[in-house]
Amino acid sequence: MKKLLLLSLFLPLLLSLGACGAQHQEQAELHIFAAVSMTETMNQIITDYKTQSPDVTIVPTYDSSGTLLTQLQEGADCDLFISASPKQLDALDETGSLLEGTRVDLLENKVTLAVPQGNPKGVEGFDQLAQLLESGDVLLAVGNSDVPVGQYTQKIFAYYSLDETSLAGALTYGSNVKEVTTQVSEGTVDCGIIYATNAVSAGLTVVDTATVEMCGQVIYPAAVLADSRHPDEARAFLAYLQTNHSAKVFESVGFTALN
């Protein structure tokens, strides 16, 4: 009789603990690596996604795509990678590090020439910038050569037949596009080559936009990693990034949604 009484008292508790354990097991923590130029929009989308998928916690890491690639190659825990250039995903694809069938071209951005408030140097566009660089009459902020915005800048230099090594006194560098944007915002340089989205987020004036002929298309590809611990949840979040709702968030700062 006592055993039956004890069982009747503890059975509901055991069932409750079991249910809690099952719920806990359903929680998924997704690690997302994304280009630093996506910081504001991704944070908004992650917040929105939580309302429809409360059992998924998204932990974002933002940095230059080159730095993120290095971290991935060194074994960093990541479920989904969004780069500011195909180059980084190509490198992972070559080593079989991407989950087959998940890679998509998610967004397009633009490379722009932005100036500080008031444009004190009177910078008008890329054509004039090329002349100012050659004469040493301008200080330009650019990205390092190992980050996508810096690589697009190098293509612009090649388009104007500019030798970057001879422009050393006219250039300052940033390890990612956020650092370049900050230099322009603070007025420590006369202008900077950044993405259109960073200019919008920072409230900077854009005086010119690079054409496809100057630097190619600025495509942001995304893919789930082959060793993701939560591939189904990562696929679901990638699908959410391609919805109309996410597109509106991306487009609010100047991205073009490609899906």
Q: Say whether both 150 and 200 belong to one domain.
A: yes
Supply the range of the domain harboring residue 59: 28-108+218-257
- DSSP run (H or E) holding 171: strand 171-174
Gap between the Cα atoms of 97 and 176, Å rounded: 24
The residue with greater pLDDT, 145 or 20, is 145
For residue 160 the two structure tokens come to: 């104007």
pLDDT surpasses 80 at 259: no
Burial (0-12, 13-18, 19+ Cβ within 10 Å), 82: buried
Number of structural domains (the chain) is 2
Instruction: Assess if residue 167 is contained within a domain.
Output: yes
Structure confidence at residue 2 (pLDDT):
44
pLDDT in tens, 180-233: 999 999 999 999 999 999 999 999 999 999 999 999 999 999 999 999 999 999
pLDDT surpasses 70 at 10: no
Q: Say whether both 228 and 196 belong to one domain.
A: no
Structure confidence at residue 27 (pLDDT):
87
* pTM: predicted TM-score of the whole model, two decimal places: 0.85
Q: What is the mean pLDDT of residues 97-123?
A: 97
For residue 141 the two structure tokens come to: 């902020």
Angle of helix 177-185 relative to helix 148-159, nearest 10 degrees, comes to 70
pLDDT surpasses 70 at 34: yes
Instruction: Assess if residue 98 is contained within a domain.
Output: yes
Instruction: Assess if residue 250 is contained within a domain.
Output: yes
Gap between the Cα atoms of 258 and 219, Å rounded: 9
The answer to whether 91 touches 69, Cβ cutoff 8 Å, is yes
Gap between the Cα atoms of 109 and 112, Å rounded: 10
Q: What is the mean pLDDT of residues 142-159?
A: 96
Q: What is the mean pLDDT of residues 17-37?
A: 73
pLDDT surpasses 50 at 130: yes
Task: Tally Cβ neighbours within 10 Å of residue 51.
Answer: 7
Q: Say whether both 79 and 135 belong to one domain.
A: no
Q: Say whether both 103 and 116 belong to one domain.
A: no
pLDDT in tens, 43-72: 999 999 999 999 999 999 999 999 999 999
pLDDT surpasses 50 at 23: no
Closest CA to 153 of 180, 190, 184, 189: 180
Q: What is the CATH number of the domain that holds 174?
A: 3.40.190.10
Closest CA to 73 of 92, 101, 98, 49: 92
Using CA atoms, how far residue 125 sits from 65, 129, 135, 193, in Å, is 27, 6, 16, 11
Instruction: Assess if residue 3 is contained within a domain.
Output: no
Instruction: Assess if residue 192 is contained within a domain.
Output: yes
pLDDT surpasses 80 at 26: no
